[in-house]
Amino acid sequence: MGVRIDLSGKVAIVTGAASGIGRASARLFAEAGASVMIADRAEAVQETLAMIEQAGGTGFARQMDAGDEAAVKALAEDACARFGGLDIIYANAGITGGKPGGLFDSDAGEWAEVLRVNLIGPYLAIKYGAPKIQARGGGSIVCTASVAGLRSGAGPASYSASKAGVINLVKTAAWQLDGTNVRVNCICPGLIETGMTKPVYDYARGAGKLEKIGQLNPMKRGGEPEEIARAALFLASDQASYVNGQALPVDGGLSASHPIAPRGNRGV
């Protein structure tokens, strides 16, 4: 019999909550009992709030830029003012940016924007959220990295570099926050069907090749946002009370190996 994760009495911030992983996580956090402050640049963040409230949850939505320092500071302050404090941050907002071609097909401006949202955004969430979480006796900060941050081959160069930065950021932050009872971890999703990966899935469907999605991982499929949300819920909760400074791949096993040609193995 499984143990249900309970976030009753907790206050959580989720960025990038208008769709995909952020929406799934915000809904799951609220279902677990947390009061959820959700944020995104897109108006659809209000749709996420409506889903939370229709399911009986408590939340508030803000349209804001997760890479803007003043906006992130205001978000943390607003969460405390509305709900009495802050226990959890899931810094999930991100953009793909760049071009698939690689290093020589992008420019410094594109790189700066990707790093601003994907890496500076989580840094700001930690900077302004950690002191408020510490004031409540401790809690959890979770960031979205990527398997692209672990090794080459899973995204544009700028995106991959930004996600590698997130992985090191959580390790550095975990030590910077030693003794505070504020844990910092990240999730490294594989290929997940979200707005960000929609072009990949649309192309595969249009070409009649949907079965090839995820063919490079041992599970032979892509993932769903809810599968990442469940990992985020675990890391956000007291069930992960001794997990700190870690990067957790949730990728169907993709990062378990260097690339190899599928051999058709089907067990022993």
Helices 121-135 and 69-83 pack at an angle, to 10 degrees, of 30
Task: Supply the residues annotated as catalytic.
Answer: 159
Q: How far is residue 100's CA from residue 120's CA, in Å, rounded to a whole number? A: 22
What are the tokens at 145? 């990295």
- Are the C-beta atoms of 129 and 86 separated by less than 8 Å? yes
- The encoded tokens of residue 177 equal 């926050």
